[in-house]
Amino acid sequence: MENKPTTRIINIILTGLFIIIAITLITITSSFYTVEQNAKKSGQEQLMQTLNYVTNNLKLVIENRSLSLQQLSHELASADQPETQLGEFDKKTLIADYLGSHEDQTNLLIQLDSLGAFAKAWQIKDGFVQELPEDRAESYLQEDPYIGSLRDNEAYIQNSSEYFLENQSFVNLYSPAVDSDGQVTGYFVSPLNLENIFKAEIFSDTSDYSGYPLVKNADMKVVIHPVESQVGLDIISDRQKQFPDLDLSDLRRLEEAQLTQEEGTLSYYSYWWDEENPTKVLKLGAFEWIDIGAAHWVIALNSDFYEHNRVPIQNNYILLSLLLLISSIILIFILLIRGYNKKNQAYEASQRLIEKQKFENERHRLEKRILKESKLEAIGLLTTTIVHDMNNFLTPILGNAQLLMEDYAENEELVSELKEIYLAAEKGKDLSTNVLRFSKVSEGQQDTVHDLSQVLKDTIAEITILTPKSIKVVSDIDSGILVEGFDKQDLQVVLYNLLTNAFQAIDTRPGNVSIRLKKADAECNADLQKRSIVTKEKEYVVLSITDDGPGIAEGLESNNLFDPFFTTKGNNGSGLGLFVVSSIADKYDWQVRLDRSQKGLTVLVNIPLQKI
């Protein structure tokens, strides 16, 4: 139905308003993205500047501690000279001054001889210097990966790389002891507690914001971290063990960036590891690799993105709220316009209802006609099927009653009763013959899918009860053949009629009936697919019933056998067996063929397989 001019104008206005809202939403979304990107860039630049300060400070602190050790080494070496030889008390005073200056960072001094073997060790405790036995100091030497370079007289380095003891990280400071002739008489080793240096000299947690610097080695193990439990852990595998439910995919991305770049910045999702139950946050990070002595570290600094950018994000939320307010006003305006347009809509709805009523009346008329025709067709099919099946049921009663009368001919009373049964069955057969009339089987499709193999096996098991003892039934059925769109009772009727015809053809002499169910070969499928456009894409299965009876008489056309009431059995046949079979086959678009090329007769039923 064509819209009225007023309706078209209103629709144009509404469309324009929706476009304006959409454009505004896109603009705000773009603004959000721009603000977020600018905030990330600004935050990363600030982090990189701060990181440079942290890196330089860490280098200076370690170099300062190294210079202090070198100064002590020189003073102790000078104190051993004959002209300036000092007593043991004076040496301990020098050592106490060195260790006491930064007791929390380094409170142990180890002296090695010229061959790098342990000589002495001192520790300050409660302001007094005490000598330590070798076993107390040896752990600091055993864990040092570079102590061997001193013992092998290799090139001198300022300090070792990191090592871990009792959840703490250390580096050993080295200083040679040189006599007046310039000969190295030994070495002084001073373990430096990296965690304590970092907290005291570089990082103090006084900020209101989340975030902190940390140090990792080339194996991505944490060397320095504000949370001591994290020291010595691999940033991926060990944390995954601690928190198996956390998503560490972005940490893997961070690790990859740090292993492939000398320095850089990035944003990533991670957690604050000082929380009992870490929560996922968006972090900004900056990192830089440095070398201090034998140590090769990456210094990283991170912060919470949203904490540092709360103001611009809040401004964007304000803009979004204003947009929602404007959108609400526009929607109210739209509702008012729609109310104004209500009359036109009512008119259009009325026209649609009139047309719908006409359509419903026409559909009702067609349904009544189809229902009437279906009832007539169903009545005809029901009558024909009942009468035909009644004959099939009465036939064994008549035969068995006749056999019993012959077997018990001397028992007149029993023969009299059997004769009553025989006559009653014969009257029933005569009555069914009188009411037989032609009726076409209705067409239709079932929505169910059946295992054709199992239906055949069940039907054969039931019908073999009525099989004459002189006839041998052999079956060869492939399993798992699925067919859609048929009622299994119809298939049972088809099989029952074909087997009944086969038994009647063999009559009382010995004979064989073969039942086969096989998928059609390529040649058979090609022939069946040529029947019509509908069948050209289908695959088929072939049901065959073969008997070794006399077959079809010469000169008799196969098509005549499918006509209703046509029979070659005289008064013993109703002429409905193959008619019912062909009617059911037409109902489901099956194909029935008769093959009399060999002895007896073979009836072939070609059935389409289920579409996969």
Q: Is the pLDDT of residue 107 over 50?
A: yes
Average pLDDT over residues 583-610: 81
CA 605 to chain centre: 44
Average pLDDT over residues 502-529: 82
Per-residue confidence band for 50, with pLDDT thresholds at 50, 70 and 90: confident
d(CA 74, CA 332): 88
Side-chain half-sphere CA neighbours of 117 within 13 A: 1
Average pLDDT over residues 562-569: 65
Say if strands 511-519 and 471-477 run parallel, antiparallel, or are unpaired.
parallel
β-pair partners for 188: 111, 175
Pair 217, 296: CB distance under 8 Å: yes
Q: Is the pLDDT of residue 578 over 70?
A: yes
Q: Is the pLDDT of residue 182 over 70?
A: yes
Q: What local confidence, expressed as pLDDT, does residue 439 receive? A: 43
Pair 401, 425: CB distance under 8 Å: yes
Quick one: 596 exposed, middle or buried, by C-beta within 10 A (0-12, 13-18, 19+)?
A: middle
d(CA 479, CA 454): 8
d(CA 608, CA 528): 10
Side-chain half-sphere CA neighbours of 353 within 13 A: 6
Q: What local confidence, expressed as pLDDT, does residue 434 receive? A: 45
Pair 271, 235: CB distance under 8 Å: no
Instruction: Pick the range with the lowest mean pLDDT from 57-66, 176-185, 226-235.
Output: 176-185
Model confidence, pTM: 0.48
Q: What local confidence, expressed as pLDDT, does residue 262 receive? A: 92
Backbone Cα Rg of the chain: 51
pLDDT in tens, 277-301: 888 888 888 899 999 988 999 999 8
Q: Is the pLDDT of residue 48 over 70?
A: yes
Rounded to 10 deg, the angle between the 5-79 and 88-101 helix axes is: 170
Helix (H) or strand (E) holding 130: strand 128-131
Output phi, psi for 610, to 5 deg. Answer: -65, 140
Alpha helices per DSSP H over 517-600 = 522-529, 577-587
Side-chain half-sphere CA neighbours of 444 within 13 A: 12
pLDDT in tens, 292-339: 988 999 999 888 777 666 555 566 666 667 767 777 777 777 777 767
Give the percent of the chain with pLDDT over 70.
Answer: 76
pLDDT in tens, 229-282: 888 888 888 888 888 888 888 889 988 998 999 998 888 888 887 777 888 888
Instruction: Pick the range with the lowest mean pLDDT from 8-12, 49-53, 504-508.
Output: 8-12
d(CA 80, CA 21): 88
Per-residue confidence band for 357, with pLDDT thresholds at 50, 70 and 90: confident
Output phi, psi for 524, to 5 deg. Answer: -65, -40
First to last CA, the chain: 42
3-state helix/strand/coil string of 264-328: EEEEEEEECCCCCCCCEEEEEEEEEEEEECCEEEEEEEEEEHHHHCHHHHHHHHHHHHHHHHHHH
Instruction: Pick the range with the lowest mean pLDDT from 1-10, 243-252, 327-336, 474-483.
Output: 1-10
Average pLDDT over residues 172-179: 86
More confident of the two residues 58 and 537: 58
Q: Is the pLDDT of residue 443 over 50?
A: no
More confident of the two residues 127 and 575: 127
Of 131, 112, 123, 120, nearest to 176 by C-alpha is 112
With H, G, I as helix, E, B as strand and everything else as coil, classify residue 609: coil
d(CA 441, CA 580): 8
